[in-house]
Structure 1
Amino acid sequence: MAPRTYGGLAFIAEVYLGSPSIRQYLHVDTGSNLTWTQCFPSSHSFVDHIYPKYSPEDSNTYFDAECETTAKNSTPKFTYYASTGVCSYELTYGDGNLIRGRLAEEMITLQTRNGEFKVVYDVYFGCNDQAVGNQYIGTGILGLGTGKFSIVEKLGSKFSICFGLIMESKPTHNLILGDGANIQGHPTVINTTQGNYMIMLEFILVGAELKALDDPVQVHLDTGTTICHLSGFLFNFIV
């Protein structure tokens, strides 16, 4: 669900973070590995008063993660500060937005398909204390990319998403994480390249005309953006 005016701008997952649990609205992003939320108090917040606020100091299950547990070539990059014992990160997105925070582990609660709730412990997430930019939606990011810090890895390396109509008044989108994920309809082969989900683009439909590419190209599947980015070659091919 997407709270208030954000309907149609992004796919938002409702999850519960910490103990006692605080509801968070996370932007579903297959183009990111790290799940993060805005932590309070913070030096720079983009979240306004309509959202619930997560404070690590109020959670019984929050603890800072150690940098020694991180991968050397991971994204984002992590830096350990001995004076504070904090493993910090900084990440810049493709649109220029920037976030900073500390790597942590926390308990999350997810709703299951039968309406019950499942608790998952020791999930990596970014406790974000600074955000630069104005394109953030919800209270943070639900990172569904591949990699050590992806929540997908924690829940069995499987997920499926069913998209309904983007602008519908009562959303019917479903995100299933873990063993309950399944494939319906005609399957499309998805590869992973440098942590990104990629498919081969063979045809482009322009109006009623189906144009076939002489050489299929790889395209990146990214639910974190509302814009299709085309290379100059593909753009000229369409027009």
Structure 2
Amino acid sequence: MVASPGLSYLMEVYVGTPPVKQMMYADMGSSVSWIQCLPCENCFHQDLPIFNPYASASSQILLDSEHECMLLEDKRDLTKSNGVCNYAFGGNSYTRGVLFKETYTLGPSSITHVALGCGHNNVGLFEQQCTGLHTAYCLVSDQFGSNPDARTSKISFGHSPEGTISTRLWKMQDNPNYYILLKSIIIGDTVIPMGGLSANFMLDTGSTLSYLPTKAYQILVYALRNMIGKKPLNVRNE
């Protein structure tokens, strides 16, 4: 995983047979992985060649009646009736295309039959090093349970040093995202308990900023002012 010139991280993944290099945003806020594919109706500029599913021996377009397609639920694009699994999701940034199965290769390891979006119409503020977006929980989302490796493909980053602790991740019913429960904030040696303000915070590596509830933010600002001991500047944007 490498940092992009912006504030996001890119994963180097090889897709297809033969494997073709992809550099995909690692995004914990997305439930479906996708890459730009030929033919392009509307694609953002990328440095690497756009993936051609017809040149891959392992590419398999899913039909709209197949289980993985049904799991897309409201992300299915029902405006098209061509028999294949069309998807559409996103707001100002979006991707539209077909769901297909492919082979992922990372180093010496390959995972077959990975459900992946093949984006033919993609709009957003994507850097030219990027070729798509990858859900960053695991290589294969547990939504697409037909893959036998789906529950054993979690991504680990580096080695855990001695004394490392972890926190439990939470999932809400009918929600693909993961959450943590914020109980306190530590500034220096000062522990600021959230008390009744404890809340579930969605983990999203694709978001530029972290967001707090208004009351928790006010507590944080108050604690920082006391610790810094200086009057804050009143900065205006002209």
TM, length-normalised to structure 2: 0.76
How far is the alpha carbon of 1:47 from its aligned partner?
Answer: 3.0
**Which secondary structure does the structure 1 equivalent of 2:43 belong to?**
coil
Number of residue pairs matched by the alignment: 212
- The code of the aligned residue for 1:237 comes to I
Report how far residue 42 of structure 1 moved: 0.5
- Secondary structure of 1:57's counterpart equals helix
Task: Say whether residues 1:66 and 2:63 are aligned partners.
Answer: yes
1:32 equivalent in alignment to 2:30: yes
Work out whether residues 39 and 56 of structure 1, in 8 Å CA contact, stay in contact via their aligned partners in 2.
yes
Residue aligning to 1:109? 105
Contact 2:96–2:120 at 8 Å: present in 1 too? yes
Helix, strand or coil at the partner of 1:89? strand
CA gap 1:230/1:120 in 2 versus in 1, 3 angstroms: same
Paired amino acid for 1:44: N
Kindly state the Cα deviation for residue 156 of structure 1 after the two structures are TM-superposed: 2.5
Change (3 A) 1:204 1:82: closer
Partner letter of residue 140 of structure 1? G
CA contact (8 A) 1:29 1:143 kept: yes
| Contact 1:191/1:199 (<8 A) preserved | yes
Q: Which residue of 1 aligns with 2:54?
A: 57
Alpha-carbon spacing, 1:230–1:75, altered in 2? closer, same or farther (3 Å): farther
Contact 2:69 2:76 in 1 (8 A): no
* Structure 1 residues 121 and 80: alpha-carbon distance in aligned structure 2, compared to 1, 3 A threshold: farther
1:45 deviation in Å? 1.1
Q: What is the match of residue 133 of structure 1?
A: 124
Q: Paired residue for 1:219, among 174, 194, 201?
A: 201
Q: Which has the larger radius of gyration?
A: 2
Q: Paired residue for 1:237, among 219, 225, 228?
A: 219
What letter corresponds to residue 156 of structure 2 in structure 1? I
Counterpart residue number, 2:151: 156
CA contact (8 A) 1:38 1:47 kept: no
Structure 1 residues 30 and 10: CA distance shift in structure 2, 3 A: same
Kept after mapping to 1: 8 A contact 2:10/2:23: yes
- In the TM superposition, residue 17 of structure 1 has moved relative to its aligned partner by 0.6
Q: Deviations over 1:187-210 (max 9, x none)?
A: 211111122211110111346543
User: In the alignment, what sits opposite 1:186?
Assistant: 165
Displacement of 1:71 in angstroms is: 6.2
Give yes or no for contact 1:143–1:150 (8 Å, CA) kept in 2: no
The letter for the 1-side match of 2:151 is: G
Q: CA deviation at 1:125?
A: 0.2
Consecutive unaligned residues of structure 1, counting only runs of 5 or more, are 112-116, 163-173, 176-180
Q: Normalising by structure 1, what TM-score?
A: 0.76
1:85-136 alpha-carbon deviations (Å, 9 max, x no partner): 221111115xx3111111111112112xxxxx11221110000011122246
d(CA) in 1 for partners of 2:45, 2:33: 16
Q: Distance in 1 between matches of 2:218 and 2:133?
A: 34
Q: What is the alpha-carbon distance in structure 2 between the residues aligned to residue 84 and residue 14 of structure 1?
A: 32
Is contact 2:14–2:20 with CA below 8 Å preserved after alignment?
Answer: yes
Q: Which amino acid aligns with 1:186?
A: I
| Root-mean-square deviation (Å) | 3.1
Change (3 A) 1:51 1:208: farther
Identity %: 25
SS at 2:194 equivalent: strand
